[in-house]
Amino acid sequence: MSSSVTIPRDTGIFQLPDPFSLAHGGDLAGAQLAFDCFGPVDAPVVLVLGGISSGRHLTSSANRPQRGWWQQFVCSAGPIDLDRYRVIGIDFLGGPGASTSAANSEYREGGFPSIDTRDQARALELLLQELGIESLRALVGSSYGGMVGLALAASKAIPIEQLLLIAAAHESHPMATAWRSLQRDIVRQGVAAGNPKPALALARGLAMTTYRTADEFAQRFHQEPSFDSAICRFPVEDYLAARGRDFAEQFSPEVFVCLSESIDLHRIDPAQITSSVTIVAIESDQLVPVWQCEKLAAGLSGPVQLIRVVSEFGHDAFLKEFDQLSPVIRASLAGEEVLS
């Protein structure tokens, strides 16, 4: 049965054990995990986790009316219905939010220790225990959040009735690691040269070419270049530069390197997972290819459904494909078979 205990807090800071020991050595002193809760306090609980740019602000609320990063999906009468579920979001350890961050000044000189998805999962386990939650109706994880969801399910620390994974697998693909390692090197060299923000913007621009697809770029940016003082500039360059600047305003180099590395450290044995799992594989995803999702599905020990989604948005389909993903999410949360 899913948890239906009252969760008294809508938002909060949870203090983790001090020190908080980490999977790859080292520990965090005075670490904390920030969380937000939405929906009825006595409803079945759904945990929602997104990519490294996401956070606890899933949707707008009375306390924080700004639009959330998954606003369309988490709302009244939406696929994750706030009239039916108590929904929880967190800021990842090491991330840009209110949880203990790699940008914290006390870590800058000595470096922030490596964070594994298993560390994120253990912090979540302790938070859920603190909130009195004995089981989850569902965990919906996209991209990095799906990796953390797999780590939590593999730990068997808390029963998860339905695990829904979108653009996520049990390990990082070596080519994806290659792309991310180049991004991290760009950032590290920028920091060493005293130009951290331009380097971070450049790394993000490179990352956008792996998140999206050639078809989308052909449709949007197949125009003639402009010339200014004999300098040629292509339309796609302006897009990549803008996305890079936006990202560099929100992230620090330390946070980016920490969470990018955490993706590549991720390794989970699918056989350890016995929950009912729905996997959404994006046909055009360069970072988590369909064959890797198929390998994950074949290795799981519990019931599994594999849904293929065709999208021009590649890995970012979890942010864009509302019409395609909504019925999958609704059916998964209800424990029903997804009709593909």
Nearest 10 degrees: CA dihedral of 268, 185, 217, 66? 70
Q: What is the pLDDT of residues 3-54, one digit of tens each?
A: 445 666 788 999 999 999 999 998 999 999 999 999 999 999 999 999 999 9
**Same domain for 226 and 325?**
no
Whether residue 310 lies inside any domain: the answer is yes
**Same domain for 165 and 192?**
no
Which residue in the list 116, 119, 285, 316 is annotated as catalytic? Answer: 285
Nearest Cα to Cα of residue 86 among 144, 200, 5 = 5
278 to each of 169, 257, 298, how far by Cα in Å? 12, 30, 12
Number of domains in the chain: 2
CA–centroid distance for 306 within its chain: 20
Is 266 a residue of the active site?
A: no
Nearest 10 degrees: CA dihedral of 329, 333, 335, 340? 0
Q: How confident is the model at residue 1 (pLDDT cuts 50, 70, 90)?
A: very low
What is the C-alpha separation between 250 and 67, in angstroms, rounded? 16
Is 3 a residue of the active site?
A: no
**Same domain for 122 and 247?**
no
Per DSSP, the residues of 17-70 read PSSEE-TTS-EESS-EEEEEEES-TTSPEEEEE--TT--S--S--SS--SPPTT
Whether residue 5 lies inside any domain: the answer is no
Is 340 a residue of the active site?
A: no
Residue 172 amino acid letter: S
Which residue in the list 57, 170, 266, 315 is annotated as catalytic? Answer: 315
Whether residue 4 lies inside any domain: the answer is no
Please say if the pLDDT value at position 317 is more than 70.
Answer: yes
Whether residue 74 lies inside any domain: the answer is yes
- Residue 292 belongs to a domain with what CATH number? 3.40.50.1820
Whether residue 329 lies inside any domain: the answer is yes
Which residue in the list 3, 143, 252, 276 is annotated as catalytic? Answer: 143
Please say if the pLDDT value at position 313 is more than 80.
Answer: yes
**Same domain for 279 and 297?**
yes
Range of 185's domain?
175-263
